[in-house]
């Protein structure tokens, strides 16, 4: 059961209307790594969690918090649009650089939402459920969550430098702080799950009859020009779980056969008859 509380999680105020910035904020609302994505990702992971109850409870806590972040961003966008008119779009277009990059304000803020937030990215792409990850494997999901929070915080940090409105910046600082904690949180969960099940997903594969420690599990293949990649920890030292040592192959050789597909049936109309093939 969900309940809505009227107070926002943090104060949201703006010093002046800024329809251009409202369009930019849309990215961290309805973009691939926006608050709508993490909200749905954490909630679906929580809804479907079959692991320990503490993980489900934690996911539901954070997923519910993200609902509040979506509400905060909608409030921010609405305030940035207060008083906006088609004349604002004309004014924004006077700066040739801004006009070229942004194309003015988002016309959907005027035509579709009536000066409100939209479930879209900054370029108007509708939010997509394909953005979320909810696999049922807790370690895999927690790693996806860390990635999502990292990308989300990066975008909020970039937005921070795109405005001089100190009231807006105050709101963004709160979001940056929560995104920092959420990264810590997912790191802690990952560390705990790795200690329980190992660092490789899924932990239940291969079966006992399989040979897990085959050479290819520890080889780095140099498949681009240069050998600078040999200096990384992925090319030397031991695997994180201590099961083997890494090997750097400077010039790896193919290990498979030359594949020659069978000639297709005439009904497929590939038109690869003997005469064509001989040419």
pLDDT tens, residue by residue, 26-73 = 999 999 999 999 999 999 999 999 988 999 999 999 999 999 999 999
Residue 158 structure tokens: 């970039």
What is the reported pLDDT for 96?
57
Quote the pLDDT of residue 268: 84
- What pLDDT score was predicted for residue 110? 77
Given a cut of 90, whether residue 146 has pLDDT beyond it is yes
Q: What is the mean pLDDT of residues 125-149?
A: 97
Confidence category of residue 272, pLDDT binned at 50, 70, 90:
low
Task: Name the percent of the chain lying above pLDDT 90.
Answer: 70
Residues 6+ apart with CB under 8 A from 248: 219, 220, 222, 229, 230, 235, 236
pTM for the whole thing?
0.86
Q: How far is CA 214 from the centre of its chain?
A: 32
Asked if pLDDT for residue 100 goes beyond 70, the answer is no
The mean pLDDT value of the chain amounts to 89
Banded model confidence at residue 101, pLDDT cuts 50, 70, 90: very low
> Rounded to an integer, what distance in angstroms lies between the CA atom of residue 200 and that of residue 241?
8
> Does residue 136 or residue 108 have the better pLDDT?
136
Span 86-90, average pLDDT: 58
**Is the confidence at residue 208, as pLDDT, over 60?**
no
Q: How far is CA 3 from CA 6, 20, 68, 125, in A?
A: 10, 33, 11, 29
Structural domains of the chain sorted by starting position, each given as residue range(s) with its CATH number in brackets? 19-197 (1.20.1260.10), 215-249 (no CATH)
* pLDDT for res 79: 95
Question: To 10 degrees, what angle do helices 35-47 and 138-160 make?
Answer: 160
Q: What is the pLDDT of residues 240-254, one digit of tens each?
A: 988 889 999 999 999
pLDDT digits (tens, 9 = 90+) for 75-85: 999 999 987 65
- At residue 83, the pLDDT reads 73
């Amino acid at each position: 059961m969900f309940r809505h509380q009227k107070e926002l999680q943090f104060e949201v105020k703006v010093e002046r209307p800024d329809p251009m910035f409202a369009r930019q904020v849309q990215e961290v609302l309805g973009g691939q790594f926006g608050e709508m994505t993490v909200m749905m990702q954490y909630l679906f992971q929580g809804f479907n969690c079959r692991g320990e109850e503490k993980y489900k409870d934690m996911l539901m806590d954070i997923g519910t918090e993200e609902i509040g972040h979506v509400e905060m961003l909608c409030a921010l966008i609405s305030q940035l649009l207060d008083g906006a008119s088609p004349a604002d779009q004309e004014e924004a277009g006077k700066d040739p650089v801004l006009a070229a990059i942004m194309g003015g304000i988002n016309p959907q803020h005027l035509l579709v939402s009536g000066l409100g937030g939209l479930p879209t990215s900054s370029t108007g792409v509708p939010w997509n459920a394909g953005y979320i990850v909810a696999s049922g494997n807790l370690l895999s999901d927690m790693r996806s969550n860390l990635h999502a929070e990292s990308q989300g915080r990066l975008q909020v940090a970039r937005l921070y430098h795109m405005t001089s409105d100190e009231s807006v910046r105050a709101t963004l600082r709160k979001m940056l702080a929560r995104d920092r904690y959420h990264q810590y949180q997912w790191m802690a969960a990952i560390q705990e799950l790795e200690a329980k099940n190992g660092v490789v997903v899924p932990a239940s594969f291969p079966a006992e009859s399989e040979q897990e420690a085959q050479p290819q599990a520890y080889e780095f293949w140099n498949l681009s020009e240069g050998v600078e990649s040999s200096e990384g920890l992925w090319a030397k030292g031991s695997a994180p779980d201590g099961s083997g040592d890494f090997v750097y192959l400077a010039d790896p050789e193919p290990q498979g056969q030359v594949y020659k597909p069978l000639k297709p049936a005439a009904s497929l109309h590939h038109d690869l008859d003997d005469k064509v093939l001989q040419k």
